[in-house]
Chain A
Protein backbone atom coordinates (compact mmCIF):
# COMPACT_ATOMS: atom_id res chain seq x y z
CA UNK A 1 0.00 0.00 0.00
CA UNK A 2 2.73 2.40 1.04
CA UNK A 3 4.67 1.58 -2.10
CA UNK A 4 1.64 2.25 -4.23
CA UNK A 5 1.13 5.68 -2.70
CA UNK A 6 4.74 6.54 -3.28
CA UNK A 7 4.42 5.57 -6.91
CA UNK A 8 1.30 7.63 -7.33
CA UNK A 9 2.77 10.63 -5.55
CA UNK A 10 5.88 10.49 -7.62
CA UNK A 11 3.98 10.00 -10.83
CA UNK A 12 1.73 12.89 -10.00
CA UNK A 13 4.64 15.08 -8.99
CA UNK A 14 6.35 14.36 -12.28
CA UNK A 15 3.34 15.42 -14.27
CA UNK A 16 2.79 18.40 -12.03
CA UNK A 17 6.35 19.56 -12.46
CA UNK A 18 5.96 19.21 -16.21
CA UNK A 19 8.93 16.91 -16.49
CA UNK A 20 8.93 15.59 -20.04
CA UNK A 21 8.96 11.95 -19.09
CA UNK A 22 8.89 8.71 -21.01
CA UNK A 23 5.89 7.05 -22.55
CA UNK A 24 3.36 9.32 -20.95
CA UNK A 25 4.55 12.44 -22.74
CA UNK A 26 3.84 10.84 -26.09
CA UNK A 27 0.36 9.80 -25.04
CA UNK A 28 -0.37 13.26 -23.73
CA UNK A 29 0.58 14.80 -27.03
CA UNK A 30 -1.83 12.49 -28.78
CA UNK A 31 -4.66 13.27 -26.40
CA UNK A 32 -7.01 16.03 -27.54
CA UNK A 33 -7.10 17.60 -24.10
CA UNK A 34 -4.10 18.13 -21.85
CA UNK A 35 -4.98 16.22 -18.67
CA UNK A 36 -3.18 18.76 -16.50
CA UNK A 37 -5.07 21.61 -18.07
CA UNK A 38 -8.27 19.68 -17.64
CA UNK A 39 -7.82 18.97 -13.95
CA UNK A 40 -6.78 22.55 -13.26
CA UNK A 41 -9.75 23.81 -15.24
CA UNK A 42 -12.32 21.61 -13.51
CA UNK A 43 -11.98 23.75 -10.39
CA UNK A 44 -13.16 26.86 -12.25
CA UNK A 45 -16.45 25.22 -13.28
CA UNK A 46 -17.72 25.18 -9.70
CA UNK A 47 -18.29 28.94 -9.84
CA UNK A 48 -18.32 29.58 -13.59
CA UNK A 49 -20.44 26.59 -14.69
CA UNK A 50 -19.62 23.35 -16.48
CA UNK A 51 -17.28 24.09 -19.42
CA UNK A 52 -17.31 27.71 -18.26
CA UNK A 53 -20.95 28.13 -19.26
CA UNK A 54 -22.35 30.29 -16.46
CA UNK A 55 -26.06 30.31 -15.67
CA UNK A 56 -25.76 33.21 -13.25
CA UNK A 57 -24.22 36.66 -12.80
CA UNK A 58 -20.74 35.11 -12.53
CA UNK A 59 -18.96 35.67 -15.85
CA UNK A 60 -19.02 32.90 -18.44
CA UNK A 61 -15.89 31.85 -20.33
CA UNK A 62 -17.80 29.90 -22.91
CA UNK A 63 -16.80 31.12 -26.37
CA UNK A 64 -13.83 33.15 -25.11
CA UNK A 65 -10.41 32.78 -26.72
CA UNK A 66 -7.39 31.27 -24.96
CA UNK A 67 -5.54 34.58 -25.38
CA UNK A 68 -8.29 36.58 -23.69
CA UNK A 69 -8.60 34.12 -20.79
CA UNK A 70 -4.84 33.98 -20.26
CA UNK A 71 -4.62 37.75 -20.16
CA UNK A 72 -7.57 38.05 -17.78
CA UNK A 73 -6.12 35.49 -15.36
CA UNK A 74 -2.68 37.09 -15.46
CA UNK A 75 -4.23 40.50 -14.82
CA UNK A 76 -6.12 39.14 -11.81
CA UNK A 77 -2.91 37.54 -10.58
CA UNK A 78 -0.91 40.78 -10.86
CA UNK A 79 -3.75 42.82 -9.39
CA UNK A 80 -4.05 44.90 -12.55
CA UNK A 81 -7.64 43.79 -12.88
CA UNK A 82 -9.99 44.04 -9.89
CA UNK A 83 -12.22 41.24 -8.68
CA UNK A 84 -13.63 40.31 -5.29
CA UNK A 85 -12.36 36.73 -5.37
CA UNK A 86 -10.46 36.11 -8.63
CA UNK A 87 -7.47 38.13 -7.45
CA UNK A 88 -7.19 35.66 -4.57
CA UNK A 89 -7.61 32.58 -6.77
CA UNK A 90 -5.32 33.57 -9.64
CA UNK A 91 -2.35 33.90 -7.29
CA UNK A 92 -2.57 30.15 -6.72
CA UNK A 93 -1.46 29.32 -10.26
CA UNK A 94 1.84 29.57 -12.11
CA UNK A 95 1.89 31.31 -15.49
CA UNK A 96 2.17 27.89 -17.11
CA UNK A 97 -0.89 26.65 -15.25
CA UNK A 98 -2.78 29.77 -16.27
CA UNK A 99 -1.85 29.08 -19.89
CA UNK A 100 -3.16 25.51 -19.56
CA UNK A 101 -6.44 26.65 -18.00
CA UNK A 102 -6.88 29.31 -20.70
CA UNK A 103 -6.15 26.74 -23.38
CA UNK A 104 -8.75 24.39 -21.92
CA UNK A 105 -11.61 26.89 -21.71
CA UNK A 106 -10.53 28.64 -24.88
CA UNK A 107 -11.03 25.43 -26.84
CA UNK A 108 -13.53 23.28 -24.93
CA UNK A 109 -16.49 25.14 -26.44
CA UNK A 110 -15.14 24.51 -29.94
CA UNK A 111 -14.89 20.77 -29.22
CA UNK A 112 -18.47 20.77 -27.98
CA UNK A 113 -19.84 22.30 -31.17
Chain B
Protein backbone atom coordinates (compact mmCIF):
# COMPACT_ATOMS: atom_id res chain seq x y z
CA UNK B 1 0.00 0.00 0.00
CA UNK B 2 1.53 3.23 -1.12
CA UNK B 3 -1.21 5.55 0.10
CA UNK B 4 -2.08 6.71 3.57
CA UNK B 5 -5.76 6.03 3.12
CA UNK B 6 -7.63 2.96 4.16
CA UNK B 7 -10.17 1.15 2.00
CA UNK B 8 -12.87 2.07 4.51
CA UNK B 9 -12.00 5.76 4.42
CA UNK B 10 -11.95 5.71 0.67
CA UNK B 11 -15.37 4.09 0.34
CA UNK B 12 -16.80 6.29 3.03
CA UNK B 13 -15.66 9.44 1.29
CA UNK B 14 -16.66 8.13 -2.09
CA UNK B 15 -20.20 7.11 -1.27
CA UNK B 16 -21.30 9.79 1.14
CA UNK B 17 -22.11 13.43 0.77
CA UNK B 18 -18.67 14.21 2.14
CA UNK B 19 -17.25 13.53 -1.31
CA UNK B 20 -18.93 16.47 -2.96
CA UNK B 21 -17.93 18.92 -0.29
CA UNK B 22 -14.44 17.47 -0.14
CA UNK B 23 -13.88 18.89 -3.60
CA UNK B 24 -14.40 22.38 -2.35
CA UNK B 25 -12.52 22.32 0.94
CA UNK B 26 -9.47 24.41 1.51
CA UNK B 27 -6.89 21.66 2.00
CA UNK B 28 -6.06 21.86 -1.67
CA UNK B 29 -6.56 25.06 -3.65
CA UNK B 30 -8.55 23.43 -6.43
CA UNK B 31 -10.85 26.36 -7.04
CA UNK B 32 -8.15 28.95 -6.72
CA UNK B 33 -8.22 29.66 -10.44
CA UNK B 34 -5.50 29.41 -13.04
CA UNK B 35 -1.89 29.66 -11.95
CA UNK B 36 -0.07 32.85 -12.89
CA UNK B 37 3.21 31.08 -13.40
CA UNK B 38 3.43 27.71 -15.14
CA UNK B 39 7.02 26.53 -15.09
CA UNK B 40 7.81 22.82 -15.06
CA UNK B 41 11.30 21.45 -14.76
CA UNK B 42 11.75 17.82 -15.78
CA UNK B 43 14.80 15.97 -14.53
CA UNK B 44 15.82 13.14 -16.85
CA UNK B 45 15.10 12.61 -20.56
CA UNK B 46 14.28 8.91 -20.56
CA UNK B 47 10.92 7.25 -21.17
CA UNK B 48 9.23 9.01 -18.24
CA UNK B 49 10.76 12.47 -18.39
CA UNK B 50 10.67 12.95 -22.15
CA UNK B 51 7.03 11.75 -22.28
CA UNK B 52 6.06 14.19 -19.55
CA UNK B 53 7.86 17.08 -21.29
CA UNK B 54 6.28 16.43 -24.68
CA UNK B 55 2.78 15.85 -23.35
CA UNK B 56 2.90 18.95 -21.12
CA UNK B 57 3.56 21.06 -24.22
CA UNK B 58 0.98 19.15 -26.20
CA UNK B 59 -1.64 19.73 -23.51
CA UNK B 60 -0.85 23.39 -22.93
CA UNK B 61 1.79 25.12 -25.03
CA UNK B 62 1.81 28.07 -22.60
CA UNK B 63 3.46 25.90 -19.93
CA UNK B 64 7.19 26.57 -19.85
CA UNK B 65 8.97 23.20 -19.84
CA UNK B 66 12.67 22.74 -19.15
CA UNK B 67 14.13 19.25 -19.59
CA UNK B 68 17.46 18.64 -17.92
CA UNK B 69 19.37 15.70 -19.35
CA UNK B 70 23.17 15.46 -19.49
CA UNK B 71 23.28 13.03 -22.42
CA UNK B 72 22.83 14.36 -25.95
CA UNK B 73 21.94 10.83 -27.06
CA UNK B 74 19.75 8.57 -24.96
CA UNK B 75 20.19 4.86 -25.69
CA UNK B 76 17.06 2.98 -24.71
CA UNK B 77 17.24 -0.04 -22.44
CA UNK B 78 14.32 -1.56 -24.36
CA UNK B 79 15.82 -3.19 -27.45
CA UNK B 80 19.36 -3.01 -26.06
CA UNK B 81 19.11 -6.81 -25.75
CA UNK B 82 18.46 -6.86 -29.49
CA UNK B 83 21.77 -5.02 -29.94
CA UNK B 84 23.54 -7.52 -27.66
CA UNK B 85 22.06 -10.35 -29.75
CA UNK B 86 23.17 -8.70 -33.00
CA UNK B 87 19.67 -7.86 -34.25
CA UNK B 88 19.91 -4.06 -33.95
CA UNK B 89 22.66 -1.48 -33.96
CA UNK B 90 23.33 1.13 -31.27
CA UNK B 91 22.23 3.79 -33.78
CA UNK B 92 18.83 2.11 -33.97
CA UNK B 93 18.27 2.52 -30.22
CA UNK B 94 19.61 6.09 -30.07
CA UNK B 95 17.07 8.78 -29.21
CA UNK B 96 17.72 12.51 -29.39
CA UNK B 97 16.00 15.68 -28.26
CA UNK B 98 15.80 17.76 -31.45
CA UNK B 99 12.05 17.29 -31.97
CA UNK B 100 11.22 18.08 -28.34
CA UNK B 101 13.36 21.19 -28.65
CA UNK B 102 12.34 22.44 -32.07
CA UNK B 103 8.78 21.27 -32.55
CA UNK B 104 7.48 21.15 -29.00
CA UNK B 105 9.54 24.11 -27.73
CA UNK B 106 10.88 22.25 -24.72
CA UNK B 107 13.94 23.98 -23.32
CA UNK B 108 16.44 21.12 -23.26
CA UNK B 109 19.47 21.75 -21.06
CA UNK B 110 22.47 19.43 -21.38
CA UNK B 111 23.26 19.57 -17.70
CA UNK B 112 22.94 17.61 -14.46
CA UNK B 113 20.89 18.53 -11.41
CA UNK B 114 23.11 18.56 -8.35
CA UNK B 115 20.56 19.67 -5.77
CA UNK B 116 16.90 20.46 -5.32
CA UNK B 117 15.61 23.18 -3.01
CA UNK B 118 12.01 22.25 -2.31
CA UNK B 119 11.41 25.37 -0.22
CA UNK B 120 12.64 27.88 -2.79
CA UNK B 121 11.40 25.64 -5.64
CA UNK B 122 14.68 25.69 -7.50
CA UNK B 123 17.13 23.18 -8.89
CA UNK B 124 20.84 23.80 -9.02
CA UNK B 125 22.75 22.48 -12.01
CA UNK B 126 26.31 21.27 -12.37
CA UNK B 127 27.08 24.32 -14.50
CA UNK B 128 26.16 26.51 -11.53
CA UNK B 129 22.90 27.63 -13.10
CA UNK B 130 19.82 27.77 -10.85
CA UNK B 131 16.42 27.10 -12.42
CA UNK B 132 13.11 27.86 -10.71
CA UNK B 133 10.00 25.76 -11.03
CA UNK B 134 6.35 25.70 -10.05
CA UNK B 135 6.23 21.92 -10.46
CA UNK B 136 9.21 19.60 -10.62
CA UNK B 137 9.11 16.19 -12.31
CA UNK B 138 11.89 13.82 -11.31
CA UNK B 139 12.42 10.89 -13.64
CA UNK B 140 15.92 9.66 -12.83
CA UNK B 141 15.52 5.95 -13.50
CA UNK B 142 17.57 3.56 -11.42
CA UNK B 143 20.86 3.50 -9.62
CA UNK B 144 22.77 0.33 -8.79
CA UNK B 145 23.63 -1.02 -5.38
CA UNK B 146 27.14 -2.11 -6.41
CA UNK B 147 28.20 -2.83 -2.85
CA UNK B 148 25.44 -5.39 -2.33
CA UNK B 149 27.61 -8.13 -3.80
CA UNK B 150 31.07 -8.68 -2.38
CA UNK B 151 33.78 -8.23 -4.97
CA UNK B 152 31.54 -6.22 -7.30
CA UNK B 153 31.86 -2.49 -7.85
CA UNK B 154 31.21 0.19 -10.44
CA UNK B 155 34.80 -0.31 -11.59
CA UNK B 156 34.31 -4.06 -12.03
CA UNK B 157 31.09 -3.40 -13.97
CA UNK B 158 32.84 -0.92 -16.25
CA UNK B 159 35.82 -3.18 -16.91
CA UNK B 160 35.11 -6.92 -16.74
CA UNK B 161 31.59 -7.80 -15.54
CA UNK B 162 29.13 -5.43 -17.20
CA UNK B 163 25.58 -5.14 -15.92
CA UNK B 164 24.45 -3.70 -19.27
CA UNK B 165 21.30 -2.55 -17.52
CA UNK B 166 21.74 1.05 -18.57
CA UNK B 167 22.07 1.14 -22.32
CA UNK B 168 25.19 2.74 -23.77
CA UNK B 169 28.84 1.86 -23.13
CA UNK B 170 27.71 -1.07 -20.95
CA UNK B 171 25.74 -2.56 -23.85
CA UNK B 172 28.75 -2.22 -26.15
CA UNK B 173 31.06 -3.81 -23.57
CA UNK B 174 28.86 -6.88 -23.16
CA UNK B 175 28.49 -7.20 -26.93
CA UNK B 176 32.28 -7.01 -27.41
CA UNK B 177 32.82 -9.69 -24.79
CA UNK B 178 30.40 -11.98 -26.59
CA UNK B 179 32.20 -11.32 -29.86
CA UNK B 180 35.53 -12.37 -28.37
CA UNK B 181 34.07 -15.42 -26.61
CA UNK B 182 35.49 -18.69 -27.87
CA UNK B 183 33.14 -21.37 -29.16
CA UNK B 184 32.31 -23.60 -26.23
CA UNK B 185 32.58 -20.72 -23.76
CA UNK B 186 30.26 -20.08 -20.87
CA UNK B 187 28.13 -16.99 -20.31
CA UNK B 188 26.77 -16.37 -16.83
CA UNK B 189 23.85 -14.00 -16.31
CA UNK B 190 22.95 -12.97 -12.76
CA UNK B 191 19.55 -11.25 -12.47
CA UNK B 192 18.69 -9.41 -9.23
CA UNK B 193 15.84 -9.90 -6.77
CA UNK B 194 12.61 -7.93 -7.16
CA UNK B 195 11.88 -5.10 -7.61
CA UNK B 196 14.11 -4.17 -10.51
CA UNK B 197 13.89 -2.48 -13.90
CA UNK B 198 12.34 -4.49 -16.76
CA UNK B 199 11.40 -7.79 -15.09
CA UNK B 200 11.61 -9.88 -18.32
CA UNK B 201 14.84 -8.13 -19.40
CA UNK B 202 17.45 -10.64 -18.19
CA UNK B 203 15.55 -13.53 -19.77
CA UNK B 204 15.09 -11.82 -23.12
CA UNK B 205 18.81 -11.15 -22.90
CA UNK B 206 19.55 -14.84 -22.29
CA UNK B 207 17.37 -15.67 -25.30
CA UNK B 208 19.07 -13.24 -27.66
CA UNK B 209 22.56 -14.14 -26.47
CA UNK B 210 21.57 -17.76 -27.15
CA UNK B 211 20.47 -16.70 -30.63
CA UNK B 212 23.86 -15.10 -31.27
CA UNK B 213 25.74 -18.09 -29.87
CA UNK B 214 23.68 -20.62 -31.80
CA UNK B 215 24.50 -18.80 -35.04
CA UNK B 216 28.16 -18.14 -34.27
CA UNK B 217 29.46 -20.26 -31.38
CA UNK B 218 27.04 -23.18 -31.08
CA UNK B 219 29.00 -25.14 -28.48
CA UNK B 220 28.67 -22.31 -25.96
CA UNK B 221 26.33 -22.37 -22.96
CA UNK B 222 24.42 -19.89 -20.83
CA UNK B 223 23.93 -20.25 -17.10
CA UNK B 224 21.43 -18.01 -15.31
CA UNK B 225 22.09 -17.68 -11.59
CA UNK B 226 18.96 -15.99 -10.30
CA UNK B 227 18.33 -14.19 -7.01
CA UNK B 228 14.64 -15.13 -7.40
CA UNK B 229 12.53 -18.28 -7.24
CA UNK B 230 10.58 -17.41 -10.38
CA UNK B 231 10.61 -14.79 -13.09
CA UNK B 232 8.45 -12.83 -15.51
CA UNK B 233 6.89 -14.78 -18.43
CA UNK B 234 8.76 -17.83 -17.10
CA UNK B 235 6.66 -20.55 -18.73
CA UNK B 236 6.76 -18.78 -22.11
CA UNK B 237 10.52 -18.23 -21.93
CA UNK B 238 11.19 -21.80 -20.83
CA UNK B 239 9.09 -23.17 -23.68
CA UNK B 240 10.82 -20.86 -26.16
CA UNK B 241 14.27 -21.91 -24.94
CA UNK B 242 13.39 -25.59 -25.30
CA UNK B 243 12.13 -25.01 -28.82
CA UNK B 244 14.85 -22.69 -30.13
CA UNK B 245 17.91 -23.37 -28.00
CA UNK B 246 17.62 -26.88 -26.56
CA UNK B 247 20.27 -27.58 -23.93
CA UNK B 248 21.88 -24.15 -24.24
CA UNK B 249 20.31 -22.26 -21.34
CA UNK B 250 20.27 -23.44 -17.75
CA UNK B 251 18.35 -21.46 -15.12
CA UNK B 252 18.92 -21.91 -11.39
CA UNK B 253 16.57 -20.38 -8.87
CA UNK B 254 17.91 -18.67 -5.75
CA UNK B 255 17.32 -21.71 -3.56
CA UNK B 256 18.85 -24.18 -5.99
CA UNK B 257 22.23 -22.50 -6.25
CA UNK B 258 21.28 -19.29 -7.98
CA UNK B 259 21.95 -16.89 -5.14
CA UNK B 260 25.31 -15.18 -5.44
CA UNK B 261 27.50 -14.68 -2.40
CA UNK B 262 30.47 -12.95 -4.00
CA UNK B 263 32.38 -12.50 -7.23
CA UNK B 264 36.05 -12.64 -8.11
CA UNK B 265 36.56 -10.38 -11.08
CA UNK B 266 40.20 -11.31 -11.72
CA UNK B 267 39.49 -15.03 -11.75
CA UNK B 268 36.09 -14.50 -13.51
CA UNK B 269 34.34 -16.54 -10.86
CA UNK B 270 31.03 -16.31 -9.08
CA UNK B 271 30.46 -18.01 -5.74
CA UNK B 272 26.98 -19.28 -4.95
CA UNK B 273 25.69 -21.12 -1.88
CA UNK B 274 26.29 -24.33 -3.85
CA UNK B 275 29.84 -23.66 -5.07
CA UNK B 276 31.94 -21.78 -7.56
CA UNK B 277 30.99 -21.09 -11.18
CA UNK B 278 33.53 -19.88 -13.70
CA UNK B 279 32.35 -17.81 -16.64
CA UNK B 280 34.00 -16.50 -19.79
CA UNK B 281 31.46 -13.69 -19.85
CA UNK B 282 29.74 -12.64 -16.63
CA UNK B 283 26.76 -10.30 -16.84
CA UNK B 284 25.96 -9.37 -13.27
CA UNK B 285 22.87 -7.21 -12.82
CA UNK B 286 23.10 -5.76 -9.31
CA UNK B 287 20.18 -4.87 -7.03
CA UNK B 288 18.69 -1.47 -7.77
CA UNK B 289 17.29 1.64 -6.12
CA UNK B 290 15.91 4.99 -7.24
CA UNK B 291 18.29 7.24 -9.19
CA UNK B 292 20.72 9.35 -7.16
CA UNK B 293 18.94 12.68 -7.45
CA UNK B 294 15.82 11.15 -5.86
CA UNK B 295 17.93 10.35 -2.78
CA UNK B 296 19.63 13.76 -2.78
CA UNK B 297 16.25 15.50 -3.02
CA UNK B 298 14.84 13.48 -0.12
CA UNK B 299 12.16 11.74 -2.17
CA UNK B 300 13.00 8.15 -1.20
CA UNK B 301 11.55 6.09 1.65
CA UNK B 302 13.10 3.10 3.41
CA UNK B 303 12.32 0.85 0.44
CA UNK B 304 14.89 2.68 -1.69
CA UNK B 305 12.13 3.95 -4.01
CA UNK B 306 9.85 7.00 -4.05
CA UNK B 307 6.30 6.87 -2.66
CA UNK B 308 3.86 8.90 -4.77
CA UNK B 309 0.24 9.94 -4.95
CA UNK B 310 -1.21 7.65 -7.63
CA UNK B 311 -3.40 10.37 -9.16
CA UNK B 312 -0.69 12.87 -9.99
CA UNK B 313 2.54 11.04 -9.10
CA UNK B 314 3.30 13.86 -6.69
CA UNK B 315 5.74 12.81 -4.01
CA UNK B 316 4.18 11.84 -0.68
CA UNK B 317 7.29 13.31 0.97
CA UNK B 318 7.91 16.57 -0.91
CA UNK B 319 4.93 18.53 -2.22
CA UNK B 320 5.30 20.11 -5.65
CA UNK B 321 7.69 17.39 -6.79
CA UNK B 322 6.43 14.52 -8.93
CA UNK B 323 8.38 11.28 -9.32
CA UNK B 324 7.75 9.01 -12.30
CA UNK B 325 9.24 5.94 -13.93
CA UNK B 326 11.47 3.28 -12.38
CA UNK B 327 12.26 5.49 -9.37
CA UNK B 328 8.69 5.60 -8.05
CA UNK B 329 6.55 2.97 -6.41
CA UNK B 330 3.45 2.73 -8.57
CA UNK B 331 1.38 -0.09 -7.12
CA UNK B 332 1.07 -3.04 -9.46
CA UNK B 333 2.95 -1.37 -12.31
CA UNK B 334 6.32 -2.86 -13.22
CA UNK B 335 9.42 -0.74 -13.70
CA UNK B 336 9.34 -0.57 -17.48
CA UNK B 337 9.88 2.07 -20.14
CA UNK B 338 6.25 1.73 -21.17
CA UNK B 339 5.04 2.20 -17.60
CA UNK B 340 7.31 5.23 -17.18
CA UNK B 341 5.89 6.80 -20.33
CA UNK B 342 2.33 6.07 -19.23
CA UNK B 343 3.08 7.72 -15.88
CA UNK B 344 4.72 10.68 -17.64
CA UNK B 345 1.54 11.36 -19.61
CA UNK B 346 -0.72 10.99 -16.58
CA UNK B 347 1.52 13.38 -14.64
CA UNK B 348 1.56 15.89 -17.50
CA UNK B 349 -2.24 15.80 -17.64
CA UNK B 350 -2.51 16.21 -13.86
CA UNK B 351 -0.11 19.17 -13.82
CA UNK B 352 -1.86 20.86 -16.75
CA UNK B 353 -5.13 20.64 -14.85
CA UNK B 354 -3.62 21.79 -11.55
CA UNK B 355 -2.24 24.87 -13.32
CA UNK B 356 -5.76 25.62 -14.53
CA UNK B 357 -7.11 25.23 -11.00
CA UNK B 358 -8.82 21.95 -11.89
CA UNK B 359 -8.89 18.55 -10.22
CA UNK B 360 -6.71 15.96 -11.95
CA UNK B 361 -8.77 13.20 -13.54
CA UNK B 362 -8.42 9.60 -12.42
CA UNK B 363 -5.34 8.05 -13.97
CA UNK B 364 -5.59 5.36 -16.60
CA UNK B 365 -2.34 3.52 -17.02
CA UNK B 366 -1.14 0.74 -19.27
CA UNK B 367 1.86 -1.49 -19.71
CA UNK B 368 2.80 -3.66 -22.65
CA UNK B 369 6.13 -5.46 -22.64
CA UNK B 370 7.31 -7.40 -25.63
CA UNK B 371 10.20 -9.80 -25.31
CA UNK B 372 11.97 -11.47 -28.16
CA UNK B 373 13.05 -15.08 -27.77
CA UNK B 374 14.28 -15.37 -31.35
CA UNK B 375 14.12 -13.05 -34.39
CA UNK B 376 10.69 -14.40 -35.36
CA UNK B 377 9.54 -15.51 -31.92
CA UNK B 378 7.98 -12.81 -29.74
CA UNK B 379 5.97 -12.91 -26.53
CA UNK B 380 4.24 -10.18 -24.56
CA UNK B 381 2.62 -9.27 -21.31
CA UNK B 382 0.00 -6.54 -21.06
CA UNK B 383 -1.96 -4.88 -18.29
CA UNK B 384 -4.44 -2.06 -17.88
CA UNK B 385 -4.35 -0.33 -14.50
CA UNK B 386 -6.81 1.72 -12.55
CA UNK B 387 -6.84 3.47 -9.23
CA UNK B 388 -8.70 1.90 -6.33
CA UNK B 389 -8.50 2.13 -2.55
CA UNK B 390 -5.67 -0.38 -2.84
CA UNK B 391 -3.70 2.00 -5.03
CA UNK B 392 -2.88 1.30 -8.66
CA UNK B 393 -4.11 -2.19 -9.46
CA UNK B 394 -4.21 -4.29 -12.60
CA UNK B 395 -7.75 -4.71 -13.92
CA UNK B 396 -8.83 -8.32 -13.52
CA UNK B 397 -9.80 -10.16 -16.68
CA UNK B 398 -7.77 -7.80 -18.84
CA UNK B 399 -4.16 -7.99 -19.94
CA UNK B 400 -2.11 -11.10 -19.39
CA UNK B 401 0.41 -13.09 -21.35
CA UNK B 402 0.76 -14.47 -24.83
CA UNK B 403 -1.16 -17.77 -24.66
CA UNK B 404 1.00 -20.82 -23.97
CA UNK B 405 -0.53 -22.54 -26.99
CA UNK B 406 0.14 -19.63 -29.37
CA UNK B 407 1.10 -21.02 -32.76
CA UNK B 408 4.13 -20.02 -34.81
CA UNK B 409 2.16 -17.43 -36.76
CA UNK B 410 1.08 -15.68 -33.56
CA UNK B 411 4.61 -15.76 -32.13
CA UNK B 412 5.95 -14.35 -35.37
CA UNK B 413 3.26 -11.67 -35.36
CA UNK B 414 4.23 -10.71 -31.80
CA UNK B 415 7.86 -10.36 -32.91
CA UNK B 416 6.73 -8.10 -35.75
CA UNK B 417 4.60 -6.02 -33.41
CA UNK B 418 7.51 -5.77 -30.97
CA UNK B 419 9.49 -3.98 -33.69
CA UNK B 420 6.48 -1.80 -34.48
CA UNK B 421 6.03 -1.04 -30.80
CA UNK B 422 9.58 0.26 -30.52
CA UNK B 423 9.23 2.61 -33.46
CA UNK B 424 5.93 4.00 -32.25
CA UNK B 425 6.79 4.45 -28.59
CA UNK B 426 10.05 6.15 -29.55
CA UNK B 427 8.09 8.45 -31.85
CA UNK B 428 5.45 9.07 -29.17
CA UNK B 429 8.14 10.13 -26.69
CA UNK B 430 11.04 11.72 -28.58
CA UNK B 431 9.58 12.20 -32.06
Chain A residues proximal to chain B, CB less than 8 Å: 1-17, 21-24, 27, 35-36, 38-40, 42-50, 54-58, 84-85, 88-93, 97
CB-CB < 8 A to B346: which residues of A? 39, 42
Top 9 closest pairs, chain A to chain B, by CB: A92-B384, A92-B398, A16-B362, A56-B420, A43-B366, A12-B362, A56-B423, A91-B398, A11-B359
> Nearest chain B CB to A110's CB is how many angstroms away?
16
Taking A8-B360, A12-B359, A12-B360 as given, write out 17 further A-B residue pairs in contact, using a Cβ cutoff of 8 Å, ordered by the A residue number.
A7-B22, A8-B309, A8-B359, A10-B10, A10-B13, A12-B387, A15-B359, A17-B14, A46-B342, A46-B428, A88-B382, A88-B398, A89-B382, A91-B397, A92-B386, A92-B395, A97-B364
Q: A42 is contacted by which of B19, B338, B345 (Cβ under 8 Å)?
A: B345
**Can you give 10 contacting A-B residue pairs, CB < 8 Å?**
A4-B319, A9-B10, A39-B364, A43-B345, A50-B427, A56-B422, A58-B417, A84-B413, A84-B414, A91-B397
Q: Tell me which of A4, A7, A36, A48 has the highest count of chain B C-beta atoms within 10 A of its own C-beta.
A: A7
| A27–B31 alpha-carbon span in the complex (Å) | 12
| B386 (CB) vs chain A CBs: closest residue | A16
A84–B402 touching, CB < 8 Å: yes
Residue in B20, B28, B360, B419 whose CB lies within 8 Å of A22: B20
Query: Do most interface residues of chain A lie in helix, strand or loop, or is the interface mixed?
Result: helix
Alpha-carbon gap, A48 to B368, bound state (A) = 12
- Give chain B residues whose Cβ lies under 8 Å from the Cβ of A16: 361-362, 386-387
List of B residues within 8 angstroms of A88 by Cβ: 382, 398-400
A111 to chain B: closest CB distance in Å?
A: 12
- Stretch from B1-9, B184-192, B196-204 that touches the partner: B1-9
CB distance from B409 to the nearest CB of A (A): 10
Interface members, chain B 403-423 (any A CB < 8 Å): 410, 413-414, 416-417, 419-423
Q: Could you tell me if A58 and B424 are in contact, using CB atoms closer than 8 angstroms?
A: yes
In the complex, residue of chain A having the shortest beta-carbon distance to the beta carbon of B54:
A50
Give Cα A49 to B383, complex, Å. Answer: 18
Contacts A6-B13, A7-B25, A48-B424 given: A21-B30 contact, CB under 8 Å? Answer: no
